Amino acid sequence: MAAASASPDEVDEPGMETEAQKLQLNCGDTGESNSAAAGKPLEMDQLQEDSAISQASVSNGGDSETEKDLVELKIIWNKNKYDVKFPLDSTGADLKEKIHSLTGLPPTMQKVMFKGLLPEEKTLREIRVTNGAKIMVVGSTINDVLAVNTPKEAAQQEVKSEENKKEPLCRQKQHRKVLDKGKPEDVMPSVKGVQERLPTVPLSGMYNKTGGKVRLTFKLEQDQLWIGTKERTEKIPMGSIKNVVSEPIEGHEDYHMMAFQLGPTEASYYWVYWVPTQYVDAIKDTVLGKWQYF
């Protein structure tokens, strides 16, 4: 009878414990499931972030390497200055293309100077170009060249026509006075039958029309010809020289006599004697604005 009068709180209703346990288990499972579900996107985010950092590190490293392979140049042409960055492993020919894009000068019309005439086949690294290097460019646009060369070519044709009517220059009295002194002892050696580029040093040991010693210095970066004697040095813009004539010296055909026309008539010719024959064509091409390809 005592058992029958038990308190309602102590009576286990059928199925209550089981439902509570199920509810507790379900809540636990749901918590674990939610935690796992939340963990997966966090894990993916972390992987993506790590990947982005890794890629940024690689990218920055690549940029750093690229910066190391670029050199800063100051390109100077016709009083204009251009600051550019250019790959060290590019060639002189590549740099000429870059100069073309900056100035409009075709590569074949450019004289590019860096410690002398810039070699087209070598890289900037090979010729030891460093940051801040000045690259001098001498050259004229096609229109400028046509405007300047037309009168020069006409004058040259006229001079050739006149020369054909006269006796050889080296037999004329005014030249014989100098040539009869004989070949100077300190004149530069000649190489017959060969064309060479202008040397990096002045051409020296020659005579002028008074029989005095004279030297020729070609300042390509300034587009000037310097004619030096014991007394003085004349600095002549190459664009002002109207013509250049030359003739082999009889009996010494490996040397030439050469004249630079500094004014409108033959009276303005500046004569130089005993010019080594291998430099004659290079002198004419340089002064008259025709570029050297050899």
Q: What is the mean pLDDT of residues 70-82?
A: 90
Encode pLDDT of 42-74 as tens digits.
455 555 555 554 454 444 444 444 455 899 999
Q: Which CATH number characterizes residue 259's domain?
A: 2.30.29.30
pLDDT at 225: 94
In a domain, 162, yes or no: no
Concatenated DSSP letters for 234-274? EEEEGGG--EEEEEEETTEEEEEEEEEE-SSSGGGEEEEEE
Do 88 and 197 lie in a common domain? Answer: no
Do 201 and 119 lie in a common domain? Answer: no
Q: What is the mean pLDDT of residues 101-113?
A: 88
Joined tokens for residue 277: 């024959």
**The overall pTM is greater than 0.75:** no
Of 238, 287, 278, the C-alpha closest to 255 is 278
Q: Residue 148: pLDDT above 50?
A: yes
Concatenated DSSP letters for 97-158? HHHHHHH---GGG-EEESSSBPPSSSBTTTTT--TTEEEEEE---HHHHHHHHHHHHHHHHH
Q: Residue 103: pLDDT above 70?
A: yes
Do 130 and 227 lie in a common domain? Answer: no
The domain tally of the chain equals 2
pLDDT at 21: 52
13 against 188, higher pLDDT: 188
Cα separation, 261 vs 267, whole angstroms: 8
Cα separation, 256 vs 274, whole angstroms: 5
pLDDT at 54: 47
Residue 178 CB partners (closer than 8 Å, separation 6+):
207, 208, 209, 210, 211, 271, 273
pLDDT at 264: 86
pLDDT at 8: 45
Instruction: Mark which of 110, 145, 180 sits at the end of a domain.
Output: 145
SS3 content of the chain, % helix, strand, coil (to 5): 45, 25, 30
Candidate from 35-44, 221-230, 257-266 with smallest mean pLDDT:
35-44
Encode pLDDT of 19-48 as tens digits.
545 445 454 444 444 444 444 454 555 555
Of all residues in the chain, what percent carry a pLDDT higher than 70? 66
Structural domain for 257, as ranges: 169-288
In a domain, 197, yes or no: yes
CB atoms closer than 10 angstroms to residue 112: 24
Instruction: Mark which of 94, 112, 145 sits at the end of a domain.
Output: 145
Do 138 and 191 lie in a common domain? Answer: no
